[in-house]
Structure 1
Amino acid sequence: MKQFEGVISDRGSKYAVSGGSVTSRADVDAFLKNLKRAKKYAKATHNTWAVVFSDGAPLKNDDGEGGAGQIILQMLEREGLTDHVIVVTRWYGGKHLGGDRFRHVQDCVRHYLDNS
């Protein structure tokens, strides 16, 4: 598991990005469980994620941040990265970010892809 914390901070909201190899839904569930063993990730407002398996099957979860999983999924598809889950974590800072939150998700995924 690779983790990058403090990737973005905007109006009190903080973002982190994590990822790792997976080959099944059970692996994704185990990855998320392991990530959330850290109390701060378990208490995060959103842990949005996506994966494209080598058989082409996509999976995503917005975790309440509508549309964020789709953004991660599209970026994985463009990169051709399979059997690798990416999770973007957000701790809500009290102010709505509007459309900026989607740019932040993209920036987090780009940071992960560029530094992994």
Structure 2
Amino acid sequence: MYTVKTMTQAIEQMAPLAWQESYDNSGLQVGDPHMDVKGVLLCLDITEAIIEEAIAKNCNLIIAHHPLLFSGLKSITGSTYVERIVMKALQHNIALYAAHTNLDNWKQGVNAKIAEKLGLQQT
């Protein structure tokens, strides 16, 4: 069985966290890196609906393009959607991982695939 760490290491071998922009917060944001992965849900943004979908589908790892957490939380009371997502992820043992600008900066990543689909060539 794969762990959160083995899954995220596979991503980081292709798109190391060192490639992320200085303002970014890619990587494991919530969860135990040593937890066994039962199911993975991929998404662009982690929303409350995404957390509910992960619970319904028995996925305990969400891999998102955009980080949920860009700056520190001063409290976790459930008053914002970010706080509610973090609370629900912790309550249901769901790890949250983001691969954002490190993936954007990968030569075979998101931007390369868009350029390929558009038929663009480097000049």
TM-score by length of 1: 0.31
Larger-gyration structure (1/2): 2
* Higher percent of residues as strand: 1
